[in-house]
Amino acid sequence: MTEFRTEHDSMGQVQVPAGAYYGAQTQRAVENFPVSGWALRPELIRAMGLVKWACGVANRDLGKLTGTGKNPLNDAQVAQMLEAAREVAGGKFDGEFPIDVFQTGSGTSSNMNCNEVISNRAIELAGGDRFQDKKPIHPNDHVNMGQSTNDTFPTAIHVAVAMSIQSRLIPALESFRDVLREKALAWDKIIKIGRTHLADATPLRLGQEFGGFARQLELSVDRAHKALKPVLELPVGGTAVGSGINTHPEFAGRVCKALADETQLGFFEAENHFEGNAQRDGLVECHGQLRTIAVTLFNVANNIRWLSSGPRCGFFEIKLPDRQPGSSIMPGKVNPVMCESLMQVAARVMGNDQTVSFSGATGGQFQLNIMMPVMGHASLESVALLAQGTQAFVDLCAREMEANPEACEASVEQSLAMVTSLNPYIGYEKAAALAKEAFKTGKTIRELCREQNILPDDELAKALDPWSMTEPQA
């Protein structure tokens, strides 16, 4: 059986698991929000620790923690508090954050959770009893000095999202872009038929088609960089409503500089703290870029799925690596599972965008948005899914894709769209009649042209050269 200890807060006694580093306010939140079983994402927990560290550094350097105020700390205690925050930032205490995502809309429960863990761990590092009622390193007075949940929790969300985009999403997208560029170059001599409306169109080269996909991923990398910009502006320093009550005028700037130096990301203080506290438009803008990236990934994965369809009765213009049996009833069937996985990732991210945008629009009243925990969760989930889904697709599918030149080239001569190149010679109306006759008789455009002496053989060969149809001609 779990053993408990008794903790006290302003509302009275609370039974807390005996070995927990968190305290009474965390336990109350655990009991109040038995909703989803989803704890905060580790990226956010670690960003909270990093923000608390940066706030501690700023307060240390400003002389606030060791000053003449209530319960000043000595230098050793300050160092131990900063070390404890660092440990949270390093992931050491992820398991000490049990509060459900669907909690108080400001994230106050999780902010207090972080304060309690850092306080108790710092007391432990100092050689004291972390279970004592009177905390020599206090969660509110010291760890939360100069802060409110209303400015530090959204700051942590921004930091977590920015770090995840920079360290995980951008490299994954760049990897996918580079693989598609390699395929485009390698497959540039393979001619195939184009398709618009899922119907036959004029020829192009397989390399050109994949060059288009590579450009989509190049733009996705650009969008990921753009997604960073709106979350680099941090609301820290606004405290409760944006006024900066109970904090030093230099506090916000120092915190932002500490975070920027630590992460090598260009974090900066909010230009207007009332906007910075109250609205999460920057997060909405950021996720809008993630949504567009998801649209691109869905499109590219779906096109690759179509191009690999078959192997006998589909296009089969590219071959995907076999990853697992595809059917419980059809022996030998293999499905494009990695395409389907990435498409589902994209669908989830597009759904998350609805959550983030709705929360941004409806959750911000006056000086606070009360939908922040779900906005943070959805945003971080989107970044993680896009990064992990893309990298898995690259490693387990895209790198090992192979072209099927025979299938590509076999359909070119049969295409009715070959007639398009005859427009300059015989006009649109006559070319359309030829296409209809070819479809009706099953003959190729070349065969009908020869039968009807549409053009001399040398001109016909030039006009119906599929390579010449893949690029402009002077």
Contact indicator for 139, 84 with CB cutoff of 8 Å? no
Question: E strands along 174-253, which residues?
Answer: 191-196, 199-205, 233-234
Apex CA 390: angle with CA 387 and CA 392, to 5°?
Answer: 105
Contact indicator for 294, 350 with CB cutoff of 8 Å? yes
Backbone angles phi, psi at 103, to 5 degrees: -130, -160
Q: Residue 164 catalytic?
A: no
Q: Residue 197 catalytic?
A: yes
Contact indicator for 51, 88 with CB cutoff of 8 Å? no
User: Catalytic one among 197, 243, 287, 341?
Assistant: 197
For the chain, how big is the Rg over CA atoms in Å? 30
Residue type, 69: G
What dihedral angle (degrees, nearest 10) is formed by the CA atoms of 233, 354, 49, 136?
Answer: 100
Question: Which residues, listed in sequence order, are joined to residue 369 by a DSSP beta bridge?
Answer: 364
**DSSP track, 447-473:** HHHHHTT-S-HHHHHHHT-TGGGGS--
List C-alpha distances in Å: 234 to 72, 272, 353, 372, 423. 28, 10, 21, 14, 60
Burial class of residue 462, CB neighbours in 10 A (0-12, 13-18, 19+) = middle
Contact indicator for 398, 426 with CB cutoff of 8 Å? no
What is the per-residue burial (b if ≥16 Cβ within 10 Å, else e) of 98-109? bbbbebbbbbbb
User: Catalytic one among 36, 243, 309, 327?
Assistant: 327
Question: E strands along 286-438, which residues?
Answer: 318-319, 364-365, 368-369, 402-403
How far is residue 219's CA from residue 300's CA, in Å, rounded to a whole number?
Answer: 13
Closest CA to 94 of 168, 41, 16: 41
Contacts with 112 (C-beta within 8 Å, 6 or more apart), sequence order: 25, 26, 29, 139, 149
How far is residue 158's CA from residue 164's CA, in Å, rounded to a whole number?
Answer: 10
Distance of CA 465 to the CA centre of its chain: 45
Contacts with 53 (C-beta within 8 Å, 6 or more apart), sequence order: 82, 85, 86, 89, 258
Active site residues: 197, 327
